[in-house]
Amino acid sequence: MNRGKGWLPCGGHWLLVAGGLLLRFSVCAQEYPKLTHVISYEELQKKSIQRKVEWVNPDQTQEELIFTEMAVPIDEAMKKKTRQFVHEVYGLDSIYLNPRLIVFHAMGDGNLKTSLEVSSFLHNQIPESWGTLSKAGNLPNGAHFIIDRDGKIFCLSPPSSYEKENHRWLIKRHQDGNPVAIGIENVTPKENYTNLTAGQIESNAKLARWLISFEQQKIKFISSHHQFNDEAGYDRFLNFFVLKNFRKQYRTRQRLDIGNKNITTLLKKINQRGIVVRSFFDQ
Ligand SMILES: [Zn+2]
């Protein structure tokens, strides 16, 4: 999810070796501090539940998907902050999504636990020390789903119900969180955003197929977060979905995320089942 800065400066350790000589060796890539004000990773795991969803694709193939619901708690204060964020950034009043596209992301933070702990996903806001990112609204980062290296899917922000006709998704801020995108994160090695395993590719595609069915084919587009970097493309996105961004000066423009090659692969695996979606920025 690339928060826009590198690893913290290295610390140093002194080592006493034979002859009383002091050697200094540095331990680089010091971890970010844990941001777990809302819930710890261990607590989140404890309340996880398994979900199974089934659907029929337009080509009549039947599929089922099992994922783990690991819902990050949302209290009234967080709902209020979400309302404020959506209002200040987009001038809208609903805290719920109108899902029209799926945006794929990559964490670049190492394993699942670290990814969730350092990203502010389990926190109450983006730390002020993150500068510009914190100015775009007083919310933590988040995503609706995150997919681990082995392809296991975790839902961090579940829909209000699993009834097709009667459910809502809360808007989650992931850097440039917006009111029309369901966000899917991927666990990737540190500072590497395009390295998805074969299992992750399959799970991203399958989850997208379910989401498109669950949203009754109203999701017509997919994209990788990095495709929002370009200003002209971003304006086209806003126009197409009849959105305005009143805090454009704080939006991020150096995103990496899963990249063009992975988007092409995913698109193929989704379209194969008779589903008509396009890559928004490649039209
Ligand atoms: Zn992203």
User: What confidence tens digit (pLDDT) does each residue in 90-145 have?
Assistant: 999 999 999 999 999 999 999 999 999 999 999 988 888 888 888 877 889 999 99
**Position 21 pLDDT exceeds 50:** no
Residue list, CB under 5 A from ion ligand 1? 1, 105, 225, 257
Domain ranges of the chain: 33-282
Amino acid at 167: H
Under the banding of pLDDT at 50, 70 and 90, the label for residue 219 is: very high
Please give the distance, rounded to the nearest whole angstrom, from the Cα atom of residue 106 to the centre of ligand 1.
6
Q: pTM for this one?
A: 0.89
Please give the distance, rounded to the nearest whole angstrom, from the Cα atom of residue 175 to the centre of ligand 1.
7
Please give the distance, rounded to the nearest whole angstrom, from the Cα atom of residue 256 to the centre of ligand 1.
7
Neighbouring CB atoms inside 10 A of 34's CB total: 15
Residues contacting 64, CB < 8 A, separation 6+:
52, 53, 54, 55
Contact 53, 145 (CB under 8 A): no
Please give the distance, rounded to the nearest whole angstrom, from the Cα atom of residue 6 to the centre of ligand 1.
16
Under the banding of pLDDT at 50, 70 and 90, the label for residue 31 is: low
**Position 49 pLDDT exceeds 60:** yes
User: What confidence tens digit (pLDDT) does each residue in 270-280 have?
Assistant: 999 999 999 99
Task: Report which of residues 10 and 2 the model is more confident about.
Answer: 2
Please give the distance, rounded to the nearest whole angstrom, from the Cα atom of residue 258 to the centre of ligand 1.
8
**Position 19 pLDDT exceeds 80:** no
Residues contacting 4, CB < 8 A, separation 6+:
130, 131, 132, 133, 252, 254
